[in-house]
Structure 1
Amino acid sequence: MPRIFDNIELKLAPAIRDTLQVSHRADFCVGYFNLRGWKHVDTLIDAWPGGEGAQCRLLVGMQPAPREELRHALSLRGEEDGVDQQTVLRFRKQMAEQFREQLTLGAPTNADEAALRRLARQIREHKVRVKLFLRYPLHAKLYLMHRADPNNPTLGLVGSSNLTLAGLARQGELNVDVLDHDACAKLQRWFDDRWEDRWCLDISEELAEIIEESWAREALIPPYHIYLKIAYHLSQEARSGVAEFRLPRELEETLFDFQKAAVKIAARHLLKRRGVLIGDVVGLGKTLMATALARIFQDDFFLETLVICPKNLVPMWEDYVARYRLIAKIVPLSRVESELPELRRYRVVLIDESHNLRNREGKRYRAIQEYIAENESRCILLSATPYNKSHLDLGSQLRLFVPPEENLGVRPERQLEEMGELEFVRRHQCGVNTLPAFEKSEHPDDWRELMRRYMVRRTRGFIQANYTELDPERGRRYLTLSDGKRSYFPKRVPVTRTFAADPRDPADPYARLYSDA
């Protein structure tokens, strides 16, 4: 009578391992191959010499995704006769992507790393061959193990278990062993017919390369390559913004390259997070960049702009609105309490000199915050000095468009590490991934991580290092204007200024400034 392996009374994994210990070759057919699952049998196969007649042949069926399976079932074309070369190449590429994706899931462990390295080495030493069956979807599970036993040379196991930890030991399955000589011979012919099929492709070398290019590789990765990969991922949003948005033609011709890049990055932030802080230092053209940003959302999304600025900047903004054909209304900061409650809906709110709104308890602050929330407006903040006394200055400006309960997707890790997450939540009663959580942190690293998602800020040194050319005759760096003229960066020369201070005079302001008292 056959034995039933259901992973409840009898587990399949020990039966396979016990049989492999006395076997010299094996043929496995599975519907799904978990690369990490190979560690349950790899040490036993490692003892084999490899090559024909002394290796494990692994046949993997190509399973369609549920959506693809439903599409095929409902297709009006009916049954297809087979596959063609183009379909095979597509399936082969798809399977390679699935294997690569497997290695990105879960946290790497030393045991997984060692097992994956053994699998790659066994493939290279021809102890393991892996083929992909593509003629039709194959969901069969078969384990044939051959041993030097004249009475029972082949043991077969047929059932539902894939070559995974769950299938071999953890989840309920139904498998039976096959000992009958005739039945085993028929199963062997069934396996060989599919192994030799025209549309059964050997993917052994590709699989070894996938492992050797992953975190489980044996060759050390140069630190510089790791640095480049980190920089690549950290700059993903910036690169996406540069590729995604186009500037109006008149502004494309006016802006410098560093300004164009800033506008497109800011547009990505504004679209994805509904707000952005342009914090370039004084003199780099924040007003023009904000105008270009508002024009992008006007042209691409048909959104009109409300400009809020100090009274002395109203004439300048009137000039920019007229010159660059921006559909906008300008409201002085001093009049927001009286005008905003009755003002119609503007979907973009641009606030110049936003550092004036550090006090979240002020009437002007509340008027602007309520208008943005009620109208679901996107918010553009401009300030060369967004941070003055504390990090709460930044938090107050972000609160204009970021609700306190919103999940920001990041956490103040340094503060949580210092205090402990449970103690932090108990003491402050707020979510660890919200803006109030960051406002409890004094660690600059936490705020840098947060503002990376909302702020675009470059210094003159950054612009000079990345966007300027050097005039060798004058020894100064410059930007080229649209008319071909050069705009030179000023060369700063430090000068020492002396002054008298009498520490004995309590009325001396300089003495009081530098006093230790």
Structure 2
Amino acid sequence: MNTDLSFITNEENQSLKKRFEVLIKDASFFDCLVGYFYSSGFHAIYPSLENTVKIRILIGISTSRQTFEMMGKANKPTQQAFDFSHAEAKQEVENLVQNEMAESEDNRNVESGVHKFIEWIRNSKLEIRAYPSQNIHAKLYIMTFKEGDRDTGRVITGSSNFTQAGLVDNIEFNVELKNRSDYDFAKDKFEELWRNAVDVSEKYVRTIQDKTWLTQNITPYQMYLKFLYEYFKDELSQTDEVFIKYLPQEFKKLEYQEQAVLNAKKILLEYGGVFISDVVGLGKTYISAMLAGQLDGRTLIIAPPVLLE
């Protein structure tokens, strides 16, 4: 199979990830300029970067919706440059990292990739900066080979962001440039942008370690809350309502009783039966009656005579 393709579309087993695996293993330096970078997808290629001396990642910072609306109200052209301060750029990166990790898969591959990312930041192998302007929207990857290799380096540019989707899943359109003049132009432009960017490496590490699910500072109480959420998350997301046709006068609707009805109905439909049991006075009779009202078909009630009086 020919692995030296000029165009890379992620089709027919010719993904950008696979092309990176071929090129990066021989690269001393790897620079990338992207609009979106997801560190939780970093595990997709980091094994190929083990022998790389230096990795630099430059990301664009987009304006928030609020900023965009403010610019519109001021009748400013939407293409006009809007620069964040260094503090604002770092805060925006913190928000992006938190949102990314909140939506990422909770698995060992993601965790190992993020830990490797942090390890390389700590030992200065990897550096990440943010360009404080919304106008940057490039996707550029520069690989500089070891001295004496086939040539100075290669450039890949196109539609792929440095994400799992951009590297593998999406149909993309990228081109590999091999001419020295293309490499020199891309490298010079990257260096220019890099000099004007904000170092967010430490902000990234602190955000991961203090404000995401990868933090090591978890109290027993927080662990308990997490357990409760995982155990009851299906019930918490229920949107059904309890339909009640007949109610006694002055009946007081209680949320915990309605929740019990919904849970009992779920168990009944799944297993074909349900027990409703609790201490005296919490409304088991009402809960049972309301549950019967949610079900189709005839209802048989077996009760002590005192309830019929």
In the superposition, the TM-score normalised over structure 1's length comes to 0.44
Q: 1:361 to 1:164 in 2, by over 3 A?
A: closer
Does the 8 Å CA contact 1:141/1:161 hold for their aligned counterparts? yes
Q: 1:75 to 1:443 in 2, by over 3 A?
A: farther
Which residue does the alignment assign to 1:24?
A: 28
CA RMSD of aligned residues (A): 3.8
Does the 8 Å CA contact 1:45/1:127 hold for their aligned counterparts? no
Q: 1:201 aligns with which of 198, 203, 216?
A: 198
User: What are the superposed Cα offsets for residues 328-366 of structure 1, whole Å, 9 maximum, x if unpaired?
Assistant: xxxxxxxxxxxxxxxxxxxxxxxxxxxxxxxx897x72x
Q: 1:3 aligns with which of 3, 6, 9?
A: 6
Does the 8 Å CA contact 2:63/2:82 hold for their aligned counterparts? no
Does the 8 Å CA contact 1:45/1:55 hold for their aligned counterparts? no
What is the deviation of 1:19?
0.9
Letter in 1 for 2:109: A
Does the 8 Å CA contact 2:60/2:133 hold for their aligned counterparts? no
Which residue does the alignment assign to 1:300?
A: none
Structure 2: stretches of 5+ with no match in the other structure? 229-240, 283-309
Q: Distance in 2 between matches of 1:113 and 1:443?
A: 42
Does the 8 Å CA contact 1:120/1:212 hold for their aligned counterparts? no
Which residue does the alignment assign to 2:191?
A: 192
Report how many residues are paired.
Answer: 260
Q: 1:182 to 1:108 in 2, by over 3 A?
A: same
What is the deviation of 1:59?
0.3
Q: 1:73 to 1:157 in 2, by over 3 A?
A: farther
What is the deviation of 1:57?
0.2
Does the 8 Å CA contact 2:62/2:133 hold for their aligned counterparts? no
3-state SS, counterpart of residue 176 of structure 1: strand
Residues 114-133 of structure 1 correspond to what in structure 2 (within 5 A)? 114-133=112-131
User: What are the superposed Cα offsets for residues 12-35 of structure 1, whole Å, 9 maximum, x if unpaired?
Assistant: 110011111111111011100112
Q: Distance in 1 between matches of 2:204 and 2:124?
A: 13
Which residue does the alignment assign to 1:139?
A: 137
Bigger relative contact order (CA 8 A; separation at least 6) = 2
Q: Distance in 1 between matches of 2:264 and 2:135?
A: 47
User: What are the superposed Cα offsets for residues 486-508 of structure 1, whole Å, 9 maximum, x if unpaired?
Assistant: xxxxxxxxxxxxxxxxxxxxxxx
Letter in 2 for 1:209: R
Does the 8 Å CA contact 1:415/1:443 hold for their aligned counterparts? no
What is the deviation of 1:99?
0.7
Letter in 1 for 2:218: I
Does the 8 Å CA contact 2:82/2:134 hold for their aligned counterparts? yes
Q: 1:40 aligns with which of 40, 44, 47?
A: 44
What is the deviation of 1:136?
3.9
User: What are the superposed Cα offsets for residues 271-319 of structure 1, whole Å, 9 maximum, x if unpaired?
Assistant: xxx9xxxxxxxxxxxxxxxxxxxxxxxxxxxxxxxxxxxxxxxxxxxxx
Which residue does the alignment assign to 2:218?
A: 221
Which residue does the alignment assign to 2:160?
A: 161
Q: 1:410 to 1:208 in 2, by over 3 A?
A: farther
Q: 2:263 aligns with which of 397, 408, 412?
A: 412
Identity percentage over the alignment? 19
Q: Distance in 2 between matches of 1:94 and 1:122?
A: 22
Letter in 2 for 1:140: A
Letter in 2 for 1:135: S
Q: 1:46 to 1:140 in 2, by over 3 A?
A: same
Q: 1:179 to 1:224 in 2, by over 3 A?
A: same
3-state SS, counterpart of residue 412 of structure 1: helix
Higher alpha-carbon deviation: 24-33 or 65-74: 65-74
What is the deviation of 1:178?
0.6
In the superposition, the TM-score normalised over structure 2's length comes to 0.70
Confirm whether residue 103 of structure 1 aligns to residue 106 of structure 2.
no
Q: 1:442 to 1:96 in 2, by over 3 A?
A: same
3-state SS, counterpart of residue 206 of structure 1: helix
What is the deviation of 1:106?
4.5
3-state SS, counterpart of residue 103 of structure 1: helix
Does the 8 Å CA contact 2:111/2:214 hold for their aligned counterparts? yes
Does the 8 Å CA contact 1:25/1:146 hold for their aligned counterparts? yes
Does the 8 Å CA contact 1:60/1:131 hold for their aligned counterparts? yes
Q: Distance in 2 between matches of 1:26 and 1:129?
A: 11
Which residue does the alignment assign to 1:442?
A: 276
What is the deviation of 1:44?
2.5
Does the 8 Å CA contact 2:84/2:132 hold for their aligned counterparts? no
Q: Distance in 2 between matches of 1:29 and 1:84?
A: 18
Which residue does the alignment assign to 2:175?
A: 176
Structure 1: stretches of 5+ with no match in the other structure? 49-53, 232-273, 275-359, 370-378, 383-393, 399-407, 429-439, 449-517
